[in-house]
Amino acid sequence: MTIEPAIALAMRDIAKRYGATCALRSAELTLRAGRVHALLGENGAGKSTLVKIIVGAVKPDSGSVALSGKPVAFRSVAEAIAAGIVPIYQHLSLFPELSVLDNLSAFQLVAGRAGLSRKALVPRGEAKTWLARVGLDLDLDRAVSSLSLGERQLLEIARGVGRNCRILVLDEPTAALNGAEADRLFAVVRDLCAGGTAVLFISHKFDEIERLADEVTVLRDGATVIDAATIGRHDRATLVKAMLGMQVEHEHRSGSARTEPVLTTANVRMATGHSLDLSVSAGEIVGLAGLVGSGALAIAATLAGAAPGQGEIAVGEQSFALGDRRAAVRLGVAYVPADRHAEGLFPPVSAIGNASASALGRFSARGLLGKARERNAIEPLLRRLHLHPARPDAEAASFSGGNQQKLLIARCLALPNLRALVLLEPTRGVDVAARAMIHRAVIDMARTGVAVLVASSDLDELTALCDRYLVVRDGSIAQDLPSDSSTETIMAALAGKAAA
């Protein structure tokens, strides 16, 4: 007879409203000690609100929360951490200008209210052990700002697993990790589970969920529609339908003949010191395939005028200097950065204001913005992308991650002279429905003759979209592969090996 592990966390009939918006209604969640529990739901389904309640950031309007069978009502995140609940958020909460050791000690500093007293720091030997558990070997005095995005993600995870945590909350933890780093993270998670830790794993990647999780809960419109089902009980199509309330159709690129070049480089030297030679034709979707830290994102940002260097980028017969993003926009080069929060969005500005930000001249006369013209042009784009909720005057900060990403795609669509589109990790951290909608918009733009460059560490995304693949290693383009290249061939090229 199999004995069920003890319940580490039980949430029953949870409800939460924000004004007129119902974020949660009758939500249920049960986490068991020693198990990985996946939480699925499209952006806006209520996952973030549920997590905020778990970690003490917000209070539910009704319902109950019990930790190891005892009712709890945390008044702050610090209280939840002290009780053994450790959150690792999708958007890092590190202090870039402080050292690795200072960041590892952040929980102690908060708990002790000791400021940056050296007495509150984690002992150096213990800090090294924490780093080793996630495969990092870093100088403890090194500034976090000098670390790669992948290293920062692992550092935050090290800070969490270094605690004697009873419940570990992982929100899209592999978004910035390469394959080896993700493997190391999963090994750490399994080690924690073997010690009795319950893990809540939030991800939009079904392959990761199937590989790592033991159970899955699905939220839709703030309610639990699948409650703690054993992994494998439901196939992917069933889970997607539970998330969305319908089946979703994924559009795949059928390929295009290369025509006249639109986006080209000539004698370009990037800020990294690497030379850059590539061309993207009208109607073509080119994928920059690279592991985390390969330099693919830097190449894409350079092509969009968002990174400095020497030389010029040609857009048809005209050109702009590297690092001149304003000139790139004037020539019709749209850009979606990898980090929508740090580089893309204006959080306090409305959805309409965010979508029109690169095309204000289109709606202005004599320095005055024509609000009616702006609204008439932007609202159809937001409807086309199925912005949810359909509140174009709401602040961008109030939307889920997937819908915020839609605002950046709408901004690209709003350019009156759109000729080229440069996308960096365009669907990182978005749900399957938003991903399908964004892919459809990108393919539609290519069909109208827009030259598209996509930099992504997600091979499934690239193979769904691209006409060819430029493989990036060590900051340079190493190979140019055709659209019919197999996933195995691309992966071998990424690793610098010949395909078997």
Q: What is the CATH number of the domain that holds 19?
A: 3.40.50.300
| Length reported for the chain | 500
Residue-wise burial string across 361-395, b where 16 or more C-beta atoms lie within 10 A, e elsewhere = eebeeeeeeeeeebeebbbebbebbebbeebbebb
- Residue 328 has a pLDDT of 95
225 and 268 inside one domain: no
Q: Is 187 domain-assigned?
A: yes
- The pLDDT tens digits for 117-139 are 556 788 999 999 989 888 789 99
User: Strand (E) positions, 271-419?
Assistant: 275-276, 279-281, 285-289, 309-315, 318-321, 333-336, 364-365, 368-369
- The pLDDT tens digits for 224-275 are 999 999 998 998 889 888 888 765 555 555 555 567 899 999 779 998 889 9
CA 217 to chain CA mean position, Å: 21
375 and 456 inside one domain: yes
Q: Is 250 domain-assigned?
A: no
Tell which of 244, 270, 296 closes a domain: 244
Q: Is 253 domain-assigned?
A: no
Q: Is 267 domain-assigned?
A: yes
Q: Is 159 domain-assigned?
A: yes
- Closest by CA to 157, choosing from 179, 138, 136, 126, is 136
Cα separation, 101 vs 285, whole angstroms? 43
Q: Is 370 domain-assigned?
A: yes
- The pLDDT tens digits for 22-33 are 899 989 999 999
- Closest by CA to 136, choosing from 89, 180, 97, 172, is 180
- The pLDDT tens digits for 271-320 are 888 999 999 999 999 999 988 778 899 999 999 999 999 999 999 999 99
- Residue 118 has a pLDDT of 58
236 and 287 inside one domain: no
The answer to whether residues 300 and 422 touch, using CB atoms and an 8 Å cutoff, is yes
Is pLDDT at 111 greater than 60 in this prediction? no
Q: Is 500 domain-assigned?
A: no
Cα separation, 491 vs 291, whole angstroms? 9
Could you tell me the pTM of the whole model? 0.72
- With a CB cutoff of 8 Å and minimum separation 6, the contacts of 219 are 27, 39, 40, 41, 45, 46, 47, 50, 225, 243
70 and 103 inside one domain: yes
237 and 266 inside one domain: no
Mean pLDDT (whole number) for 424-432: 85
Tell which of 193, 215, 244 closes a domain: 244
- Residue 381 has a pLDDT of 94
The number of distinct structural domains making up the chain is: 2
111 and 219 inside one domain: yes
Full residue range of the structural domain in which residue 461 is found: 261-494
33 and 140 inside one domain: yes
